[in-house]
Structures are given as C-alpha cells and as structure tokens.
Homo-oligomer: A and B are copies of this chain.
Amino acid sequence: MQEEFICQENCPHLAKIHEVEVNKIPREELQSLSEIFKLFSDETRLRIICNLLNTELCVCDLCELLNLNQSAVSHQLQLLRGSKLVKYRKEGKQVFYSLKDEHIENIIKIALAHMREEK
C-alpha cells in the first residue's frame, strides 16, 4: 500500500504538515462523506434525486421520467434507501419515494451554483 518515500530536500515541510494534521477531519467522517458523494456521482441516481426535489414519485413515474426500465430504477432506489437519502411509503401496489431531508437539496443547489459560475 505504502512505500518508504520521504522527499528529502524541503519536503518535510514539517510545520505545514503538522498544521494540516491538526485541522484534520477524522478519517471515518471522510469515509462517510465519500459515500454520500458516491451516491450523487452516478447520473441515474442524480436524476432520481433531482426529480424528487419538489415532490414524491412512484417507481413507475421515475421510469417514465428517466426513460429507464423498472429494474434499473429499483436497484438505484435500493441504494438510496440503504443510505437513508430517500424515504418511501406504500400505497396499494405502488411505492412512493421522496427525499429524506432538505440537506440533500442544499448540497445539490450549491454544487450546481458552483458549476454554473465556473463557465
């Protein structure tokens, strides 16, 4: 995994490294964080999430909107469910999905603003 490689010249910018170490975000938090971003990183899932931004939708609605088959949509919903990003309610044969909280919306919006500003 690692190798004994320490840049000899100036590299141990030891002070700087120490400073960074001090302000360090705990490793487990970064791991959880990367998992959230991983869920946002697939276009299909992102489309699902964005379609759910203002309303709840059943699986079939999502299939329509995404123009994707039911199995693919259900598999992605399973992932979103597993990470507690969406909640669902059953109504007869149908299952309606919605976003679990507004944080998600915030993250999307800010990332979107970032992206649009870039241009």
Contacts and interface: CB of A to CB of B under 8 A. Distances in A.
B38 A50 contact: no
Nearest to A91: B10
Nearest to A19: B55
Interface string A18-52: 01110111000111111011101111001100110
Interface string A95-113: 0000001011011101111
Contact of A30 (B20, B33, B50): B50
Instruction: Determine the main DSSP class of A at the interface with B.
Output: helix
**Interface size bucket, A side?**
35 or more
A5 B51 contact: no
A78 interface: no
A107 B108 contact: no
Contact of A115 (B19, B32, B106, B108): B32
Interface in A77-91: 84
Contacts of A84: 118
Contact of A70 (B5, B43, B111): B5
A45 to B, nearest CB: 8
